[in-house]
């Protein structure tokens, strides 16, 4: 049992209780509600499923109420997609959802069985049974509303409720899925709907790192990052959490705890901004290596041109990212933007199809670019971080092709072949390893 609604999450919370706080006699002690989400690698085989059940059991035995969200086992979803591709060149999205949603049901049922064997009451539910209502956009549905009554009733009866992630039901009563990686979103949305004390994301890494440890061996786990920092990191290439799940967490102020399913150590807490964060200039470095750049040279420098281009791309469901337009000369301007590499062909087709509606001199494309992003709440109050970043890249002889910023982020577009070198040089220059350790206090 833990105290609810007191201090912010503390760094020393034990494995048994998510938000252990010193219980003063005057404080009201209530049962905490934890949402625990386990990713595909955490339930990849029956051995791992038993391990997950043991962790859930420990949470229950510590006195917390528990709702569990599960991903499909290992690479199950990839396997199901491949199966559909084998059957049909153009599988109907409705049937895709029927197919893909089965993966999560399997892990749910198996974890329920493992929990029963440990002497715990548990029941598994599809997204639909759990009251997750979505729009009708098959394979990329959005959660519209959650009716958590059924889950609440299970909890009230002392059961662990296991919910199949990544899925819901539309108003037309069709099964829908939320897009790849959508189980994170299920977990955070449930935590918001149930007003849970924490949403724990169990995965195969121990938390959010200052940079990708596969590139920078000195990368350190960050004890605490803000929702907004995490949002920028997820949008800039960090794969720890699905972007949409972080959006939901920020919107509803859900504290997240990203941690390993294979170790007991504390992971990374993701919460609203805290005063401590103001001290750090840069929190982490994210990167993307699967981007491409398109440049439209000599477009007309007049109202409506950008609107025309980006409306056509949006209609084709292409996610345009960094956009740059230079100062017009002689009534002409150049417009450059990045798109995900897999969408490059489609984007070029869209532009070609615009023909006379988009008069311009030439279309250039580059499929060899990458992005490196610095993220940190400290940027709000510390000028000069961009200058330092550019100096470091200059010293490495790395050419910056585009620059894009927000109040807490600086992104540069560079050659893909230089991304890893840039990450290492910046990690060193901003001393992120010691910064992370300092923040651990």
180 binds, among Mg ion, ligand ASP, none (CB under 5 to 8 A by kind): ligand ASP
Token pair listed for 439: 């923040």
373 binds, among ligand ASP, Mg ion, none (CB under 5 to 8 A by kind): none
Structural element, H or E, at residue 207: none
What b/e string do you get for 274-291 counting C-beta neighbours within 10 Å, with b at 16 or more?
A: eeebeebbbbbbbbbeeb
The least CB distance from residue 43 to ligand ASP, in Å, is 10
User: What separation, in Å, do the N-terminal and C-terminal C-alpha atoms of the chain show?
Assistant: 25
Our CB check for Mg ion shows the closer of 178 and 347 to be 178
SS3 361: coil
Our CB check for Mg ion shows the closer of 74 and 370 to be 74
Count CA atoms within 13 Å of residue 18 on its CB side. 30
203 binds, among ligand ASP, Mg ion, none (CB under 5 to 8 A by kind): none
- Phi and psi at residue 197, to the nearest 5°: -75, -30
Q: List interacting residues with Mg ion (CB under 5 A).
A: 39, 181
Our CB check for ligand ASP shows the closer of 179 and 218 to be 179
Whole-Å CA distances, 94 to 174, 175, 184: 8, 8, 22
The least CB distance from residue 177 to ligand ASP, in Å, is 8
What b/e string do you get for 38-74 counting C-beta neighbours within 10 Å, with b at 16 or more?
A: bbbbbbbeeebbbbbbebbbbbbebebbbbbbbbbbb
72 binds, among Mg ion, ligand ASP, none (CB under 5 to 8 A by kind): ligand ASP
182 binds, among ligand ASP, Mg ion, none (CB under 5 to 8 A by kind): ligand ASP
Q: Could you tell me how many residues make up the chain? A: 441
The least CB distance from residue 182 to ligand ASP, in Å, is 5
The least CB distance from residue 39 to Mg ion, in Å, is 5
77 binds, among ligand ASP, Mg ion, none (CB under 5 to 8 A by kind): ligand ASP
The least CB distance from residue 40 to ligand ASP, in Å, is 5
Give the C-alpha separation, 111 to 316, whole Å.
Answer: 40
Give the C-alpha separation, 163 to 89, whole Å.
Answer: 31
Our CB check for Mg ion shows the closer of 108 and 280 to be 108
The least CB distance from residue 184 to Mg ion, in Å, is 6
Token pair listed for 21: 């706080």
Enumerate the H helices of 157-220 as residue ranges.
183-193
Residue carrying the six token digits 């006195």: 63
Q: List the beta bridge partners of residue 162.
A: 68, 124
Our CB check for ligand ASP shows the closer of 165 and 284 to be 165
Q: List interacting residues with ligand ASP (CB under 6 A).
A: 40, 71-72, 77, 103, 165-166, 180-184
Token pair listed for 287: 């990167």
Give the C-alpha separation, 207 to 222, whole Å.
Answer: 7
The least CB distance from residue 110 to ligand ASP, in Å, is 15
The least CB distance from residue 299 to ligand ASP, in Å, is 38
Our CB check for ligand ASP shows the closer of 183 and 236 to be 183
- Phi and psi at residue 161, to the nearest 5°: -100, 125
Our CB check for ligand ASP shows the closer of 192 and 305 to be 192
Our CB check for ligand ASP shows the closer of 106 and 433 to be 106
Our CB check for Mg ion shows the closer of 244 and 288 to be 244
103 binds, among Mg ion, ligand ASP, none (CB under 5 to 8 A by kind): ligand ASP
The least CB distance from residue 107 to Mg ion, in Å, is 13
237 binds, among ligand ASP, Mg ion, none (CB under 5 to 8 A by kind): none
């Amino acid at each position: 049992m833990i105290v609810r609604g007191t201090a912010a999450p503390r760094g020393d919370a034990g494995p048994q209780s998510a938000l252990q706080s010193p219980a003063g006699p005057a404080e009201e002690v209530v049962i905490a509600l934890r949402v625990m989400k386990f990713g595909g690698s955490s339930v990849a085989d029956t051995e791992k499923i038993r391990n997950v059940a043991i962790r859930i059991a420990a949470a229950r035995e510590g006195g917390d109420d528990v709702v569990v969200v599960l991903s499909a086992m290992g690479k199950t979803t990839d396997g199901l997609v491949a199966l559909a591709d084998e059957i049909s060149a153009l599988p109907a999205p409705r049937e895709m959802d029927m197919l893909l949603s089965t993966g999560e049901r399997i892990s749910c049922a198996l974890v329920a069985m493992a929990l029963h064997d440990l002497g715990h009451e548990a029941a598994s539910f599809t997204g639909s049974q759990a009251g997750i209502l979505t729009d009708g956009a098959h394979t990329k549905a959005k959660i519209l509303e959650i009716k958590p009554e059924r889950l609440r009733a299970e909890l009230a009866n002392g059961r662990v409720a296991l919910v199949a992630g990544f899925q819901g039901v539309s108003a037309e009563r069709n099964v829908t899925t939320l897009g790849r990686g959508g189980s994170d979103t299920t977990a955070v949305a449930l935590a918001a709907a149930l007003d849970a004390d924490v949403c724990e994301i169990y995965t195969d890494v121990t938390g959010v790192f200052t940079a990708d440890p596969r590139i920078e061996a000195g990368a350190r786990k960050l004890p605490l990052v803000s929702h907004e920092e995490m949002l920028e990191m997820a949008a800039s290439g960090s794969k720890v959490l699905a972007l949409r799940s972080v959006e939901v967490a920020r919107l509803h102020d859900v504290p997240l705890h990203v941690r390993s399913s294979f170790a007991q150590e504390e992971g990374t807490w993701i919460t609203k901004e805290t005063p401590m964060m103001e001290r750090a200039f840069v929190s982490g470095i994210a990167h993307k290596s699967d981007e491409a750049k398109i440049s439209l040279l000599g477009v007309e420098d007049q109202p409506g041109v950008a609107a025309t281009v980006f409306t056509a791309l949006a209609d084709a469901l292409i996610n345009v990212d960094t956009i740059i337009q230079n100062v017009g000369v002689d009534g002409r301007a150049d417009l450059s933007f990045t798109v995900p590499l897999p969408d490059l062909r489609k984007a070029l087709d869209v532009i070609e199809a615009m023909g006379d509606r988009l008069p311009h001199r030439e279309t250039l494309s580059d499929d060899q670019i990458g992005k490196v992003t610095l993220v940190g709440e400290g940027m709000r109050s510390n000028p000069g971080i961009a200058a330092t970043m550019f100096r470091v890249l200059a010293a490495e002889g790395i050419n910056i092709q585009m620059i894009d910023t927000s109040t807490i982020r600086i992104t540069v577009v560079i050659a893909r072949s230089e991304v890893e070198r840039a990450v290492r040089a910046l990690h060193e220059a901003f001393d992120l390893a010691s910064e992370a350790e300092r923040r651990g206090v």
